[in-house]
Amino acid sequence: MRITIVTPTYNEAENLPKLVSALFSLPLDLHILVVDDNSPDGTGQIADELTGKFPGRVEVLHRPGKMGLRSAYLNGFQKVLDSSAQAIVQMDADFSHDPSALVNMAKLLESHDVVLGSRYVAGGSVDERWSFWRKRLSSFGNFYARTILGLPLHDVTTGYRMWRRETLQQIPFERIQSTGYVFLVEMAYLAHCLEFKIGEAPIYFADRRMGKSKMSIKIQLEAAFRVWQVRWHYRDLKRAGKAARL
Ligand SMILES: Nc1nc2c(ncn2[C@@H]2O[C@H](COP(=O)(O)OP(=O)(O)OP(=O)(O)O)[C@@H](O)[C@H]2O)c(=O)[nH]1
Ligand SMILES: [Mg+2]
């Protein structure tokens, strides 16, 4: 199975080369698409150097400036769906997502339409250095979103996911409105409304290895409100189910 990893980068110069080596040491048929938003720390140039080092296996999509995760992924998906990738992975470039989990995720994808790397199923966990409050906030955020949306999932905000090509092709991307975390919730909700079979593989979520964390209460509160908008926005799809697939 040919798998393409889409990894958005913004100031990941230290992490990216290490991530690419770690990925290519796995026993999987992997390709990588880096979506860089003209990172001030030169991640874009480093990504270009990696395309020379791994010709045909690393590609870079350069964008002129910081435009956020949603458009980074949507642009990335578009490009990958034009290639012969059979599975598409969403993955952070900061080592929060352990590359080796992909082996398990790929196995689970054989019997599912999409696989989430989940911190909140048996065997999954978050960085032990997370503060009590950050842990509570993350697990409460998940409980909140999955309850309001009726999602039968344990980790709806995880950014580590593996999609079958056919699944992504049937999702109406042009309807997606949210950015940041809620973008991830929204994509999970779309997959659920369209009645795709969603698997969850346990992951250990590490804090970013290099660079600074931007997580804040303000981001979480805004997200809490937007979850209601997601529910309202897709009420037609929720009714239509499978029939609404593209
Ligand atoms: N291309 C692009 N990548 C982004 C943007 N914002 C974040 N990223 C990347 O998206 C991934 C996830 O973002 P992070 O900054 O790690 O977000 P987070 O994990 O919620 O927060 P941290 O605690 O800071 O790690 C990382 O690989 C970032 O470099 C953006 O606007 N454009
Ligand atoms: Mg991160």
Residue 13 Cβ inside 6 Å of ligand 1? The answer reads no
At 239 the pLDDT is 97
Q: pLDDT tens across 2-20, in order?
A: 999 999 999 999 999 999 9
State the distance from the centre of ligand 2 to the C-alpha of 229, rounded, in angstroms: 25
In tens, the pLDDT along 20-40 reads 999 999 999 999 999 999 999
8 A C-beta contact, residue 215 and residue 106: no
At residue 210, does pLDDT exceed 80? no
Residues 6+ apart with CB under 8 A from 55: none
- E-assigned strands of 99-177? 114-118, 125-126, 161-164
Which atom of ligand 1 is least distant from the CA of 181? 20
Q: What is the pLDDT of residue 202?
A: 98
**What is the CA(164)–ligand 1 centre distance, in A?**
23
Backbone dihedral region of 24: left (phi > 0), alpha (psi from -120 to 50 degrees) or beta? Answer: alpha
Q: Tell me what percent of the residues of the chain surpass a pLDDT of 90.
A: 88
> What residues are neighbours of ligand 2 (ion), with CB under 5 Å?
92, 94, 96, 208
Once rounded to an integer, what is the mean pLDDT over residues 52-75? 97
> How do residues 81-96 score in pLDDT, each as one tens digit?
999 999 999 999 999 9
Distance CA 231, CA 235 (A): 6
pLDDT at 181 over 90: no
pLDDT of 219 reads 80
Q: Are 39 and 33 in contact (CB under 8 A)?
A: no
Distances (CA, A) of 214 to 26, 96, 120, 217, 218: 30, 14, 22, 10, 11
For 109-155, write each residue's pLDDT tens digit. 999 999 999 999 999 999 999 989 889 988 999 999 999 999 999 99
Q: In testing the pocket of ligand 1, which one of 7, 9, 207, 212 has its CB within 8 Å of the most ligand atoms? A: 9
Please tell me the distance between residue 239's alpha carbon and the centre of ligand 2 in angstroms: 35
The two tokens of residue 241 are 């189910």
- Which residues, at least 6 apart from 48, have a Cβ–Cβ distance to it below 8 Å? 60
Query: What percentage of the chain reaches a pLDDT higher than 70?
Result: 98
